A = this chain, B = another copy of it.
Amino acid sequence: MNAYVADFSAPKDISRSRVEEYIFANSFDRPTLVIDTDRVARQFRALRAGLGQADIHYAVKANPAPEILHTLVGLGSHFDAASRVEIEMCLAQGARPEQVSFGNTIKKVSDIAWAHEVGINLFAADAEEELEKLAEHAPGAQVYIRLIVENCQADWPLTRKFGCAGDKAPALFAYAKELGLKPVGLSFHVGSQTRRAEMWGDVLDQVASVWANLKSEGHALDLLNIGGGFPAFYGQAIDAPEAYARQVMEMVQARFGDVARVMAEPGRGLVAEAGAIAAEVVLVSKKSENDLHRWVYLDIGRFSGLAETEGEAIRYQFATQRDHEAFAPCVLAGPSCDSADVLYERRPVELPVGLKSGDKVAIRNCGAYTSTYASVGFNGFPPLDVVVI
């Protein structure tokens, strides 16, 4: 635990990771995500050690950089893909089709047919129409049914967008069989950024109850996909990855016993801490003489890579070259002419008082859900650049 905590420091701690050192030692024309694939490999090994025999299916959507996929293929990772393009990216880096699952419950029929053609054989579904599409375009495929679970403990609880209610699972299992598919098990998602392993208990109980019910109805269950939710450090304490994963697996074992195949889908928990963004201060101002806080505007905002600041959900940490100076709160905003492009206003951010236009800012632990979220060219700003070191 100690080494881990030292690695990811509190706001005013000025110890720097390798990507942060790189950011302060180099110049950048525009906001740039710097990724350390060694750090990805270290995190993968830590999670694998904790997850035991569970297969890691990296959630490609978190960051599909070819170098990350290549590193993970080399380590024997499996992959969870959201679309045809993500599957192609995995295969291009040497993943075999049987290592890739098509985990989006909302798939175009042309993508299903293409995936089936190239040998993908494991799909997610949560509805009758999706099963019909799979039966027609990927006949005989394995399918797991995604459940809705309730979890108020995650930093970013999921909506009801994905999954079906538990009482619908038996009908979907039966319908899948009737259509000639192979319903092999269940999946769920505990909620993004579930900071402590103990927060999984309640959700695992809900899934175990549906699981037991399906077994009692005579369905064979070979696969439990525990999804993602593995956290990254954004200022609030989290469990270290190996201990976290081990505790989750102990909780799984206690509720489900020996399951033939367990899958886990870390995305953020695998790559977020392996990246940082090089950004720049563009303006520091006060709106009126009576204003409590400064406004600090960066050259990156919600539409150019920091989409996860929506609702101030993910609170990134910052490093500057003034971290020895005095700090004060400020409102932090992006550079676009869009009034919604404000990062932190309700809960202002502590930044050095001396910060000014032209100062470099490293945004920490930005390896997940940044580069591909960036818009193509909103306000004429180019998407986030990516550099792998």
A residues lining the B interface (CB < 8 Å): 59-61, 64, 81-89, 103-109, 126-130, 133, 148, 156, 158-165, 167-168, 192, 280, 282-290, 295, 297, 299, 303, 307, 310, 333, 335-342, 345, 356-358, 371-383
Contact = CB atoms under 8 A, between A and B. Distances in A.
A83 B288 contact: no
B377 A85 contact: yes
Residue in A88, A288, A378 whose Cβ sees the most chain B Cβ within 10 Å: A378
The 5 closest A-B pairs by CB, nearest first: A127-B285, A85-B380, A165-B288, A83-B380, A86-B380
A64 B342 CA distance: 23
Contacts of A130: 283, 285
A336 B82 contact: yes
A171 to B, nearest CB: 8
Residue in A337, A340, A373 whose Cβ sees the most chain B Cβ within 10 Å: A337
Contact of A285 (B82, B128, B357, B380): B128
B373 A375 contact: yes
Copies in the complex: 2
Contact of A161 (B84, B106, B341): B341
A159 B289 CA distance: 18
A186 to B, nearest CB: 15
Contacts of A59: 337
Given A165-B288, A356-B129, A380-B85, A337 B374 contact: no
Given A59-B337, A61-B336, A129-B284, 10 more contacts: A85-B382, A106-B335, A108-B280, A128-B285, A129-B356, A129-B357, A156-B339, A162-B337, A372-B376, A374-B376
A106 B375 contact: no
Contacts of A109: 357-358
Contact of A104 (B61, B160, B335): B335
Residue in A160, A284, A382 whose Cβ sees the most chain B Cβ within 10 Å: A160
Contacts of A128: 285
Contacts of A288: 164-165, 167-168
